[in-house]
């Protein structure tokens, strides 16, 4: 039951309520189970209020400050929460069906098991429905409007996102384990609906369909990227940089990866990803260091031409012979000087790699 004094004060109107709160800053309003449906609470100060199981259906809470409030299992069906400040609000199990949360700030809010079906979580202009680090695990968001919503580190584990409108949404590092993601609409309301089944790739697919520059980037990645492997010692780096510069002149996009620096990262995973993006790989075997390990991980699983280069007078490392069983590993080109390597790069390095890339394309 709500505190009678607190409930009576709220019913005097928002102005009287806010003035009372400004004077009684230490009082935490107890409105547990209060019947507040259809009330006008525009810009009301409900910070840290106890609204557990309160009935706020069709209530106008636009611009209200609900930071730190407890609204577990509260009924907010069709409530207007436009621009409401809901930072760290506990809305676990709350009924927010068809609620208007446009431009609301729900940062770090607890919305576990909340029902947000058909809710409006969109943003207008440059303001956003902030769902950063919000917990929406097991929440029902079916047919909700998430247009331009900001979803950063949001927990959507086992949430139901069926039929959500996600046009313009920003999705970064979200948790989607067990989430239902079917029929996500990636187009604005005025355009024919295009639906996808993966929230994380929704924005990418829309950009791919509507942005010629993005398509150009994809074409570049699949046809122009060349991964250069080697050692970053002073003498070897000079050669790697020369190769990179020559590739640039020939309209390739060289990617030079320094294995020695990022000790805390999974180098194998990173280099494998880069290899899958590459048109072909140039590997300097003269002083290979970590290159043998990286090639051993890449070659058996990635059908990308590998053209090794080797300074005359040096020998291949012993295990390289085993990699030659894979037909996309080409015979190393031995060069007498860096100058000759660059001069003959097209004939002895690029041309063989390109020929093998075209041969592998159907595969």
> What pLDDT digit, counting tens, does each position of 59-117 carry?
999 999 999 999 999 999 999 999 999 888 999 999 999 999 998 888 888 999 999 99
**pLDDT of res. 148:** 87
Q: What percent of the chain has pLDDT over 90?
A: 55
**pLDDT of res. 345:** 94
Q: What percent of the chain has pLDDT over 70?
A: 90
Q: Averaged over 22-48, what is the pLDDT?
A: 94
**pLDDT of res. 265:** 46
State how far the Cα of 222 lies from the Cα of 213, in Å rounded to an integer: 14
**pLDDT of res. 133:** 76
Answer yes or no: are the C-beta atoms of 299 and 278 closer than 8 Å: no
With cut-offs at 50, 70 and 90, classify the pLDDT of residue 141: very high
Q: Averaged over 271-289, what is the pLDDT?
A: 87
The reply to whether CATH 1.10.4160.10 applies to domain 216-360 is: no
- Maximum mean pLDDT: which of 21-30, 184-193, 249-258: 21-30
- Which ranges of 95-178 would DSSP assign to H, the alpha helix? none
Q: Averaged over 254-267, what is the pLDDT?
A: 60
State how far the Cα of 268 lies from the Cα of 292, in Å rounded to an integer: 12
Q: Averaged over 297-325, what is the pLDDT?
A: 92
State the residue for tokens 């009576």.
8
**pLDDT of res. 127:** 35
State how far the Cα of 117 lies from the Cα of 176, in Å rounded to an integer: 17
Beta-strand ranges (E) seen in 111-256 are 150-152, 170-172, 184-185, 195-196, 225-229, 253-256
Q: Is the pLDDT of residue 215 over 90?
A: no
Question: Is 243 buried (19+), middle (13-18) or exposed (0-12) by CB count in 10 A?
Answer: buried
Q: Is the pLDDT of residue 45 over 90?
A: yes
With cut-offs at 50, 70 and 90, classify the pLDDT of residue 304: very high
State how far the Cα of 142 lies from the Cα of 57, in Å rounded to an integer: 19
Answer yes or no: are the C-beta atoms of 74 and 53 closer than 8 Å: yes
State how far the Cα of 220 lies from the Cα of 278, in Å rounded to an integer: 10
Q: Is the pLDDT of residue 218 over 70?
A: no
Q: What is the DSSP string of 278-307?
A: -SEEEEE-SS-TTHHHHHHHHTTT----EE
Q: Is the pLDDT of residue 125 over 60?
A: no
**pLDDT of res. 271:** 78
Q: Is the pLDDT of residue 260 over 60?
A: no
Strand 306-311 and strand 150-152: the pairing is unpaired
Q: Is the pLDDT of residue 136 over 70?
A: yes
* Lowest-pLDDT choice from 146-155, 189-198, 251-260: 251-260
Compute CA 318 distance to the chain's CA centroid, rounded to the nearest angstrom. 42
Q: Tell me the C-alpha to C-alpha distance, in Å, between residue 191 and each of 167, 194, 208.
A: 11, 9, 16
Q: Is the pLDDT of residue 160 over 50?
A: yes
Give the start-to-end residue ranges of the domains of the chain: 216-360
C-beta neighbour count of 108 within 10 angstroms: 17
Q: Averaged over 234-258, what is the pLDDT?
A: 86
**pLDDT of res. 126:** 31
Q: What is the 3-state secondary structure (H, E, C) of 50-93?
A: ECCCCECCCCECCCCECCCCECCCCECCCCECCCCECCCCECCC
Which has the closest alpha carbon to 277: 259, 296, 257? Answer: 257
With cut-offs at 50, 70 and 90, classify the pLDDT of residue 171: confident
> What pLDDT digit, counting tens, does each position of 315-353 carry?
888 899 999 999 999 999 999 999 999 999 999 999 999
Question: Does the reported pTM lie above 0.75?
Answer: no
């Amino acid at each position: 039951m709500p505190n009678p004094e607190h409930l009576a004060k709220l019913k005097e109107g928002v102005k009287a309520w806010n003035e009372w709160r400004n004077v009684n800053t230490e009082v935490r309003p107890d409105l547990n189970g209060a019947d507040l449906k259809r009330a006008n609470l525009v810009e009301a100060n409900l910070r840290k209020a106890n609204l557990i199981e309160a009935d706020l259906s069709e209530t106008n809470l636009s611009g209200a400050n609900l930071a730190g409030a407890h609204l577990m299992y509260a009924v907010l069906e069709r409530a207007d929460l436009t621009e409401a400040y809901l930072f760290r609000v506990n809305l676990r199990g709350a009924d927010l069906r068809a609620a208007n949360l446009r431009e609301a700030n729900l940062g770090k809010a607890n919305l576990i098991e909340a029902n947000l079906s058909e809710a409006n979580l969109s943003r207008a202009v440059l303001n956003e429905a902030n769902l950063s680090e919000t917990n929406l695990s097991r929440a029902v968001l079916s047919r909700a409007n998430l247009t331009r919503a900001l979803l950063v580190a949001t927990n959507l584990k086992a949430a139901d996102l069926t039929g959500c409108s996600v046009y313009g949404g920003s999705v970064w590092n979200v948790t989607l384990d067990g989430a239902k993601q079917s029929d996500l609409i990636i187009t604005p309301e005025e355009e024919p609906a295009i639906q996808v089944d993966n929230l994380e790739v929704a924005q990418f697919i829309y950009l791919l369909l509507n942005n010629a520059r993005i398509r150009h980037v994809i074409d570049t990645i699949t046809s122009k990227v060349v991964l250069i492997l080697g050692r970053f010692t002073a003498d070897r780096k000079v050669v790697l940089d020369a190769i990179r510069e020559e590739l640039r002149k020939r309209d390739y996009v060289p990617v030079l990866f320094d294995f020695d620096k990022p000790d805390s990262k999974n180098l194998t995973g990173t280099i494998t990803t880069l290899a899958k993006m590459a048109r072909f790989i140039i590997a300097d075997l003269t002083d290979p260091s970590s290159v043998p390990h990286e090639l051993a991980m890449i070659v058996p699983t990635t059908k990308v031409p590998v053209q090794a280069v080797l300074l005359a007078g040096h020998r291949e490392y012993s295990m390289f012979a085993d990699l030659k069983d894979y037909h996309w590993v080409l015979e190393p080109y031995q060069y007498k000087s860096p100058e000759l390597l660059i001069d003959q790069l097209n004939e002895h390095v690029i041309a063989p790699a390109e020929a093998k890339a075209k041969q592998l394309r159907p595969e």
